[in-house]
Amino acid sequence: MQNLIKYPLFKEHCTTLKKASCDNGTGVKKYMTNSLLEVVAFDKIKNDYCKECKLTEIPESNDALFEDGKGNYVFVEFKNGFIGKKIVFELQKKIYDSVFMFSGVTSLGIPVLRESLNYILVYNDKANCGNEDKVLQEKYKNTVSASPSFDRIGKTTAKWANKEYVCFGLSFFKGFCFKEVHTYTQGEFKRYLESIGVTT
């Protein structure tokens, strides 16, 4: 966090990754990670950013921002529910708006960000793959994927080839806005955090 907290706007909105992952859409708090890693609550800076820029509309934003200890900044977006076409569009808007705000706060341009900024979507595997719930099956008809299990098959096949599969069409942003793009289940995200030396 040493590079991030030198920016006053980021320093004012520090929290833990666990708190940034909180989903209370149903009225019950659910956390998608228990990690106490210190992060910027990026979702909370947008109001202050809008005041500074005198914006009349509030942009969308990713949930968290942190440094991975390897010279990279990492945006994290948590999605606990079903990810259909509407949510994918919202994710894309959050990416664009967050990159612009990050650039605005840090004065780092897109060419620099392409070399130092990564993106991770953490999603609920049970809500998106192989779920037998009839309501969710109806929702699957409107997904980006050709079938409910498309992304799961893609991930499995990619593992056999020692490659990483990026779900929900977000691979487009690799090399465009970000150095790396990852879509992790909660379990995969936990293993990622452990791989960079973060206690989970």
Give the pLDDT confidence score for residue 165 in this predicted structure.
Answer: 86
Q: Is residue 136 part of a domain?
A: no
CATH number, domain containing residue 27:
3.40.91
Q: Is residue 172 part of a domain?
A: yes
What residue type is assigned to position 175 of the chain? Answer: G
Which tens digits make up the pLDDT trace of 55-68? 888 999 999 999 99
Q: Is residue 150 part of a domain?
A: no
Confidence bin at 20 (pLDDT 50/70/90): very high
The average pLDDT across 174-179 equals 95
pLDDT at 77 over 60: yes
Q: How far apart are CA 100 and CA 21, in angstroms?
A: 22
- Percent of the chain topping pLDDT 90: 63
> What 8-state DSSP symbol labels residue 178?
B
Q: Is residue 130 part of a domain?
A: no
Which tens digits make up the pLDDT trace of 30-56? 999 999 999 999 999 998 999 889 988
- Position with higher pLDDT, 26 vs 78: 78
Q: Is residue 173 part of a domain?
A: yes
Contact yes or no for 71/52 (Cβ under 8 A): no
> What 8-state DSSP symbol labels residue 114?
H
Structural domain range at position 45: 8-124+165-195
Give the pLDDT confidence score for residue 27 in this predicted structure.
Answer: 77
The average pLDDT across 87-106 equals 95
Both ends of the chain: CA-CA distance in Å? 17
- Position with higher pLDDT, 107 vs 28: 107
What is the DSSP pairing of strand 117-123 with strand 73-79? parallel
Tokens of 146: 């050709």
Q: Is residue 149 part of a domain?
A: no
Q: What is the pTM of this model?
A: 0.85
Q: Is residue 73 part of a domain?
A: yes
The domain tally of the chain equals: 1
Give the pLDDT confidence score for residue 140 in this predicted structure.
Answer: 47
According to DSSP, the residues that pair with 119 across neighbouring strands are 75, 181
Rg (CA), the chain: 17
Q: How far apart are CA 64 and CA 20, in angstroms?
A: 6
Give CA separation, 48 vs 16, 22, 35, 45, 57, in Å.
Answer: 20, 21, 26, 5, 12
Q: Is residue 140 part of a domain?
A: no
Give the pLDDT confidence score for residue 181 in this predicted structure.
Answer: 97
Which tens digits make up the pLDDT trace of 104-163? 999 999 999 999 999 999 999 888 765 444 454 555 455 444 444 555 555 555 454 456
